[in-house]
A and B are shown apart, each in its own frame.
Chain A
Amino acid sequence: MTPPSLRHRYVQGALAGLPFTIVVGPFALIFGVLATEAGLDLAQTMGMSLLVIAGAAQFAAVQLLDEAAPVWVILATALAINMRMAMYSASMAPHLGRAPLWQRMAAAYFLFDQAYGVSIRRFDDAQEWSVAEKMAFFFGCVLPICPLWYAGTYVGAVAGAAIPPEYALDFAVPITFLALIAPYLRTLPHIAAALVSVTLSLALVSLPPGTGIIVAGVAGMLAGALVEAWCDDA
């Protein structure tokens, strides 16, 4: 019996990634609109979506740029948001770590939330797949999602000015952020992390823009880790 072709894995990946276009399309559109409203020109808006491809960090960076926060705060905040991807990278390493370097370099660029989430769930159930098959599946996941991220950003940036302010589009950012983390709020450590983070962020709002977020974020992480350790010991 010959193993299924790489093309087959690629198509499987693409089909698995397809449902996420429902979220990514509007998310990209909103990013294009907000970045333009914050004063980024078309090249800068597209440049960010092409170079960073990480929605949450891009929203945070644009928000802080708009508030004229110190540059180190913008970078620290956005990179802190993306630090979770080090975890993605670590958990992908056993599956894709033996692939050729150029493939790993390409995969790293596309290691965003949805492609990671879809792939890792599949890989854990597919121990018999070769590294090449897993890589094909991963790039398949990327196929429907990534072009939509670029295209949505472009449409949002170009059409954004036509959207009237009473549509409360500014609210898209907090809604998206809360929606991304709400599904986590089912364990005590995650709830503790979020509560500490929100409380400190509100209490420190008069600090220079963005600095409260760093303090609140670090405190929230420590709270989560400590409560987890406490739960494990109990």
Chain B
Amino acid sequence: MMPDAVVWAVILVLGVGTYLIRFSFLGILGARPLPFWALRLLRYVPVAVMPAIAAPMVVWPEATGGLVEPSRLLAAAAVIAVGVVTRSVLGAIFAGIVTVYTLGAVL
């Protein structure tokens, strides 16, 4: 873990940075729209960034010392399948939790 001062610095910069992102267009540019290409790139931010963070945590989890665990791979697959079909974030989370607990107990 990092020294306290570094953690606080991260929290503060993240807080200010996030606020400025949220304030940006609403606050400064008013009703002027974003350029087309920027909107096109920004549209894919969640779907590009979040799986990049999740993938290594699914394949090589820290809790197993980095060893591949089938129950977690299957649980991730269940999350995606239920999320795609139902479009429900809550349903997908629920599917993942149920899968990892049941398979974790069985495997």
Contact = CB atoms under 8 A, between A and B. Distances in A.
Interface of B is mostly: helix
Nearest to B33: A90
Given A77-B53, A185-B83, A193-B47, A51 B14 contact: yes
Interface residues of A, number: 95
Interface string B82-105: 111001111011001100110010
Contacts of A23: 89-90, 93
13 contacts: A23-B93, A44-B11, A81-B50, A85-B22, A92-B26, A98-B30, A111-B26, A174-B57, A178-B92, A178-B96, A181-B50, A183-B84, A219-B48
A234 interface: no
Interface string B37-54: 101111111111111111
Nearest to A216: B52
B53 A213 contact: yes
Interface residues of B, number: 75
Interface stretch (A10-18, A66-74, A118-126, A155-163): A66-74
Interface string B17-39: 11101111111011111100101
A82 B17 contact: yes
Given A111-B22, A179-B93, A202-B55, A81 B49 contact: yes
A220 B52 contact: yes
B45 A194 contact: no
A108 B79 contact: no
